Amino acid sequence: EIACMMFKSNFCIPLLLAGAVSAFTPGHLSPGMSLARFSRGQRFSGLTSSRMAVSRKDSYDVTLLPGDGIGPEIIKAAVVACKAVAAKQGFTINFKEALIGGAALDAHNDPLPDVTLKQMKASDSVLLAAIGGPKWDKNPRELRPETGLLRMRKALGLFANLRPATVLPQLIDASTLKPEVVAGVDIMVVRELTGDVYFGEPKGITTKDGERFGFNNMCYKESEVRRIAKVAFDIASKRGNKVCSVDKANVLDVSQLWRDVVIEEHAKYPKVELSHMYVDNAAMQLIRNPKQFDVIVTGNIFGDILSDEASMLVGSLGMLPSASVGDRSGPGVFEPCHGSAPDIAGQDKANPLATILSAAMMFRYDLDRPEAAEALERAVNKVLDDGLRTADLARENTIGCRQMGEEVAKRV
C-alpha cells in the first residue's frame, strides 16, 4: 500500500524523486486564437462539471492572502479586475484579507495562524498572491513561509495542482526558445500536491558517524496516486485524449508503484492515450519538443520542477496562473506560479496578469461563474493585443502593476 524510499546525504540536502508524467501532442492554437477562446473551450474545462466548491449564487466570500514581496501589489490589481467583472455581471464578492507566510510570521510567529485557516475554511474560495523572502530564509524549518503553504495544502485537502502553460501569439517573442519551437504550445501540468518527499516521514537532520546526516522519505499511498491520475485522465478526456505520466520507475520503488497505479486507473479511460516518461528525459523533452505534451501528470517534487520549466516556454512566470483543488468539501486556492520577487517589491514593476488569470480559474472551478472567467481572460487578451506590457515582458514602453490591473478592468 505504501512505497517509501529514504534519501540519504552527507549534507543537509533533501534529495528528491517521485512522480509520473504523461506526454501527448496537443492541438495548435491558430495565430488569431485568444486566451479566452482557448480557455473556455473543451480543452481547458476538465474539472468544471465536478469541482465546484459552491453553487452559483449572488454573493461570494473570498479570502485574500497577499503574502509577501510583490504579493500585496498584484492582489490589489486582481481585486480591481474582479470587482469590475462582478459589477458588470450582477454579483458581488466580499473580499477579506488574512495573513500567511512571512507577513504572518512577523505578526503571529506562525506562517499559517489558526485564524487564517479558519477564515479560509469558511470562505467560498481563496486567492493567494505570493510568499517568502530572504528575511525568513534562515528561520528554523517550522518558522519559514513555505511551511505555512504546505500546511495549508494539507489542511484544506488540496491534492491536485493544475498549471496551464499556453504560448499566446502576442507573447511568442518573450520566450527564450525559438518561435517555431514554442508556437502552439499548450500544456496542462497536473501535479500531486499533498504527498511525496515534501510530506514523507521520517525526515530531518541528525548526526551519524560523526557528521551531519540529512534525510527525507518519498512516500505515496495507492489511493493518493489513483485520485491524481483520475484528475489527469478526466482533464485529458476534455482536451486531446493524451496523458504522459512522468516518473523514475527505473530507479525508485515509489515511482514503480506510481506507474502501476496509473496504468490500472487508465483502464477506465479507453479513449485516452497513456504514455510514460522518466523525469530526466521529460525535463529535456520540454525544451526540445514541448508540443508533444498535452496533459502531464506527476508527483509533488517532479511537478514542482517541471511546471516551473514549462512556465518559461511562455516567456514569463508573470503570465501563468494555477489552481490547487481537492474534493467538494472546501475551497480551492488560486495563485500565480511565480514567487514573491522581493527585489522589486513596492516598485510597481510586478506583472499582475498571472494573478488575474488565477482569479479567472477561481471563477471557473470554485464559484460556478464561467462567464466571469471568460470575461477576465478576454480582457487580458485585449490588453496584450493593445500592446500593453509590464517590465517582465518588454524592455521599453512598459506600464506598472497598478495600471495593468486598471487596464484589464477597463476592458472587462
Q: Which of 61, 260, 308, 348 is catalytic?
A: 308
Locate 254 and state its grid cell: 515509489
Q: Would you call 280 a catalytic residue per the annotation?
A: yes
Find all residues with CB under 8 Å of 385, minimum gap 6, and list them.
170
Task: Judge whether 260 counts as a catalytic residue.
Answer: no
3-state secondary structure of 34: coil
Residues with Cβ within 8 Å of 49's Cβ and at least 6 positions away in sequence, in order, are none
Query: Does the active-site annotation cover 308?
Result: yes
Per annotation, catalytic residue among 186, 196, 198, 247: 198
State phi, psi for 200 to the nearest 5 degrees. Answer: -65, 145
Instruction: State the cell numbers at 370.
Output: 464561467
Cα–Cα distance between 232 and 375 in angstroms, integer? Answer: 26
Q: Find the catalytic residue in 280, 327, 385, 386.
A: 280
The sign one gets for the Cα dihedral 164, 167, 168, 172 is: positive
Of 124, 186, 304, 392, which is the active-site residue?
304
Number of Cα atoms under 13 Å in the Cβ half of residue 294:
25
The answer to whether 153 and 199 are in contact (CB under 8 A) is: no
Q: How far is the C-alpha of 49 from the C-alpha of 399, rounded, in Å?
A: 37
The Cβ of residue 124 has, within 10 Å, a number of other Cβ atoms equal to 23
DSSP 22: B
Report the catalytic residues: 198, 248, 280, 304, 308
